[in-house]
Amino acid sequence: MKIIHIIITIVLLNVVFHNSYAQQDAQYTQYMYNTISVNPAYAGSRGVLSIMGLHRSQWVGLDGAPRTQTLTINTPMGTNERLGLGLSIVNDEIGPTDETYFGIDFSYTIPLSERGKLSLGIKAGGHLLNVDFQRLSQFNGNDALFENNIDNKFSPQIGVGFYYHTDKFYFGLSAPSLLETNHFDESSTSSDSEAVSFLAEERINYYLITGYVFDLNDNLKFKPAVLGKLVFGAPLQVDVSANFLMYERLTLGVAYRWSAAVTGQIGFQISDALMIGLAYDRETTELGQTQFNDGSYEVMLRFELFKKYNRMLTPRFF
């Protein structure tokens, strides 16, 4: 068990504490169904009330490994459906840290052609940070840095994005939070301001998402998608997925996270209103080779409420 604590402590010290890399937002494999979490312009774009819940357990078997729960709701507003409204809540846990993000999304859609639409979005919300240092295996139990926990440290958030889509193609750029926040070590008694260390740093996360739906035949569609995430001070993350939709019900696919993981995905449209999705990631890094890491699991459930006259005549596949 000691080696597990050492691995997790090293990861946490590199990700969360002083002299760390930039902290990143929660990670998703089924991002194509969870676009509103990273792009507020997506709100209302499906044309119906859409409710999505997602749970992710990462690096199962490692003590203190990341776990993420997400709940999103979005819907068009008004008769012309140009206005969109959304709500997103994300809880992200890793080791001693527990973070909660919450935001309200507004979008406005501009028709650019008979099929193409451009949506502009803004997100407003906040972030709560908790750090319980008693959950760490500390090398130095007398380190003043770990004496005081962080309890519900609040940071405001505001984000923007745009999202262009047709019935076959989509492309979006976004930054869900434009405000950078440093959480400082308030217990430091040093008179030298340069010696004060920070515990966590919130950096701007930039997202690019795109995808296309190819009709291979009447009962088979090919849906490639790409998600890119850039955080200055952290490695570029690129996810590439290839999903096949059969009979507009069953989705099977694979994905690759650049230099990080390979993924298998499955989804099933239980009814017009209800869809379930599952994903399993296997690390391709040295961390994935340890006997304590059983991979990452993700489950997604989406419910959509249709009006009687508004059943999707042209189904939306993203």
Q: Which two tokens stand for residue 150?
A: 């962080």
pLDDT digits (tens, 9 = 90+) for 221-239: 999 999 999 998 788 899 9
Predicted model pTM:
0.82
Q: Which of 63-72, 124-133, 141-150 has the lowest mean pLDDT?
A: 141-150
* Residue 167 near residue 314, CB atoms below 8 Å: yes
Q: Which of 83-97, 123-137, 150-164 has the lowest mean pLDDT?
A: 123-137
Cα 67 to Cα 298: distance, rounded to the nearest angstrom: 10
Q: Which two tokens stand for residue 84?
A: 């969109």
Cα 219 to Cα 204: distance, rounded to the nearest angstrom: 41
Q: Judging by beta carbons within 10 Å of its beta carbon (0-12, 13-18, 19+), is residue 307 exposed, middle or buried?
A: exposed
Cα 159 to Cα 163: distance, rounded to the nearest angstrom: 14
pLDDT of 78 above 80: no
| DSSP secondary structure of 89-101 | EEEEEETTEEEEE
* Residue 269 near residue 302, CB atoms below 8 Å: no
> HSE of 190 in the Cβ direction (CA atoms, 13 Å)?
11
Alpha-carbon distance values, 16 to 61, 291, 308 (Å): 21, 25, 49
Mean pLDDT of 67-85: 90
Q: Which of 7-16, 101-110, 153-162, 167-176 has the lowest mean pLDDT?
A: 7-16
| DSSP secondary structure of 76-126 | EESSS--EEEEEEEEEEEETTEEEEEEEEEEEEEEE-SSS-EEEEEEEEEE
* Residue 68 near residue 93, CB atoms below 8 Å: yes
Domains and CATH numbers, the chain: 27-181+199-305 (2.40.160.40)
Cα 201 to Cα 127: distance, rounded to the nearest angstrom: 12
